[in-house]
Amino acid sequence: MLKSTGMRISHYLFCCSFFLLSCKKENKEQKSVFVKTWYDTEMDIPYMARLEINKDHTFKFVGGACTTSFHSDGNWIEKNDTLILNSVLPKECFQIHEFGKMCYSKEEIEKIRFTKTIADCEPKNEDSFENFKDEKFYLRNDSLVLKKDRKEKCTERKIVFFKYKKQR
């Protein structure tokens, strides 16, 4: 009887060990609700933009309007219910545009025209680099909305992305 009880305990311990070792470890880092490809929605001019939020905490932004195109690559963090994007400057020469800034004075336009990723370089084409500096987004329903600074001009213009491409 003792031998069979010992065998039962051994068998029980083996089964428990096997069961526990075969269980998958839970992924402590849950997938963010922001991780997906987002498409522009609000611009009323011929314009297209795509924002890819990757699970490795990087992002890619590409788009264009008429004869120009723009892009950005960078990193993101999630703080509470807010997505925060910051660009990483490229090593190539591009004209820089500050993301989300839509209303400029004549003086600001002149200054912007001469701001480049590398001092005194000449861009090869009309492509520009869209610079994200602590740009904050939040979810509203199924849309990704840029949080605007109250001090900014043109606060009535919105930047909103959706999970589907808009129909043209």
Give the mean pLDDT of 71-95.
95
Whole-angstrom Cα distance, residue 153 to residue 145? 17
Smallest CA-to-CA distance from 130 within 87, 93, 161, 165 is with 87
- pLDDT of 44 higher than 60: no
Return the percentage of the chain with pLDDT > 70, whole number: 65
Smallest CA-to-CA distance from 98 within 134, 46, 58, 138 is with 134
Give the mean pLDDT of 43-60.
86
Whole-angstrom Cα distance, residue 96 to residue 94? 6
Fold of the 36-162 domain: Lipocalin (2.40.128)
Tell me if residue 105 falls in helix, strand or coil: coil
Give the mean pLDDT of 153-164.
72
- pLDDT of 80 higher than 60: yes
- pLDDT of 47 higher than 60: yes
Which pLDDT band, with edges at 50, 70 and 90, does 66 fall under?
Answer: confident
What pLDDT is recorded for position 160? 82
Give the mean pLDDT of 80-93.
95
What pLDDT is recorded for position 55? 95
Tell which wins on pLDDT, 158 or 138.
138
Report the mean per-residue pLDDT for the chain: 80
Smallest CA-to-CA distance from 59 within 51, 47, 71, 50 is with 51
Which pLDDT band, with edges at 50, 70 and 90, does 41 fall under?
Answer: confident
CA 12 to chain centre: 50
